[in-house]
């Protein structure tokens, strides 16, 4: 009898939403305002339909009590927006090729010439692979100019795709036939319709899970940090802290690239504005 008065299994109350969005904010800085309730409900729908939970309240309890942390990873995987593409925001890759790399080459010549970049919030890998292609093409003799790309994301789901380097063929349709041939293998038989990044390109990239909300430190400072279309989900407080931690992780003259729809307006920082979505640490 009581069951008739129970909430339908997938009803999300305001209190449920507050708890779940509070947890997501505290753990990964993503700011889910009231307007995102339906989105969160839809994203967690599959998990709820597994039949394991009676309500979103049950689900929340399970997440916070799960000692393995797996359900939390699952929750964050479902919430984060992973849209990306190869050579997204082409202007940044033009800047890398025509401005930053020539400057780095001039600055580093004869002084230990390794170039180190970070793709922070790399999603399924299109961004770091686009960086690796740009560097391989632009460096005068890549064998004499070692470079490394650290590529990190919160979501273990997208990192798996990134590390595999396997994509549906249509994802690379904007890449020229010459570059496609040089850097991708065409899938055959059951892999028809897919491409795979060739091993020599993959070896430039280290993929790892990293939550930008947690403290980070790296053995060497970065010449360039790509953090594009990630901070858009964070509020000003989290953005300010992150931009200042990026500053500390940059080499002198190092550059921070943010998404073109993002801005550092209203954030206290020490970077110099170069042009839209490009900021530089003093030399």
Ligand X SMILES: C[S@@+](CC[C@H](N)C(=O)[O-])C[C@H]1O[C@@H](n2cnc3c(N)ncnc32)[C@H](O)[C@@H]1O
* Residue of 21, 130, 134, 155 that binds ligand X (CB under 6 A): 155
Site string for ligand X, 257-276 (x = CB under 6 A): --x-----------------
Q: Which of residues 65-94 bind ligand X (CB under 6 A)?
A: 80-84, 88
Q: Which is nearer to ligand X, 52 or 70 (CB)?
A: 70
Q: Provide the annotated active-site residues.
A: 43, 153
**What is residue 45's DSSP assignment?**
H
Q: How far apart are CA 16 and CA 35, in angstroms?
A: 14
Residue selected from 134, 229, 239, 280 as contacting ligand X according to rule CB under 6 A: 229
In angstroms, give the least distance from the CB of 28 to ligand X: 4
Q: Find the binding residues for ligand X in span 117-146 (CB under 6 A).
A: 121-123, 127
Question: Cβ(237)–Cβ(245) under 8 Å?
Answer: no
Answer yes or no whether residue 154 interacts with ligand X by CB under 6 A. yes
Q: What is the distance between the alpha carbons of residues 154 and 79, in angstroms, rounded to a whole number? A: 11
Is the Cβ–Cβ distance between 43 and 10 less than 8 Å?
A: no
Q: Which residues of 124-162 are buried (b: 16+ CB within 10 A; e: fewer)?
A: bbbbbbbbbbbbbebbeeeeebebbbbbbbbbebbbebb
Beta carbon of residue 282, minimum distance to ligand X (angstroms, whole number): 25
Nearer to ligand X, 32 or 212 (CB): 212
- Rounded CA separation 32/78 (Å): 13
Which residues contact ligand X by CB under 6 A? 28-30, 80-84, 88, 121-123, 127, 153-155, 158, 211-213, 228-230, 233, 259
């Amino acid at each position: 009898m009581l069951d008739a008065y129970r909430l339908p299994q997938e009803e999300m109350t305001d209190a449920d939403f507050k708890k779940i969005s509070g947890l997501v904010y505290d753990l990964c800085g993503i700011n889910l305002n009231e307007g995102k309730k339906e989105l969160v409900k839809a994203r967690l729908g599959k998990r709820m339909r597994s039949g394991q939970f009676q309500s979103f309240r049950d689900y929340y309890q399970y997440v916070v009590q799960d000692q393995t942390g797996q359900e939390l990873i699952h929750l964050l995987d479902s919430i984060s927006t992973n849209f990306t593409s190869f050579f997204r925001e082409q202007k940044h890759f033009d800047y890398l090729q025509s401005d930053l790399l020539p400057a780095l080459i001039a600055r580093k010549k004869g002084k230990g010439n390794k170039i180190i970049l970070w793709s922070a919030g790399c999603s399924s890998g299109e961004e770091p692979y686009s960086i690796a292609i740009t560097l391989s093409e632009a460096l005068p003799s890549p064998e004499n100019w070692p470079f490394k790309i650290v590529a990190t994301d919160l979501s273990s789901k997208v990192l798996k795709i990134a590390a595999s380097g396997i994509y549906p063929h249509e994802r690379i349709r904007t890449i020229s036939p010459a570059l496609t041939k040089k850097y991708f293998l065409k899938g055959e038989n059951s892999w028809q319709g897919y491409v795979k990044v060739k091993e020599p390109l993959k070896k430039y990239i280290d993929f790892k899970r990293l939550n930008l909300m947690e403290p980070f430190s790296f053995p060497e400072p970065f010449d360039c940090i790509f953090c594009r279309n990630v901070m858009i989900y964070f509020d000003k407080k989290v953005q300010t802290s992150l931009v200042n931690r990026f500053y500390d992780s940059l080499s002198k003259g190092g550059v921070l690239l943010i998404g073109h729809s993002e801005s550092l307006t209203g954030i206290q920082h020490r970077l110099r504005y170069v042009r839209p979505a490009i900021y530089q640490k003093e030399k």
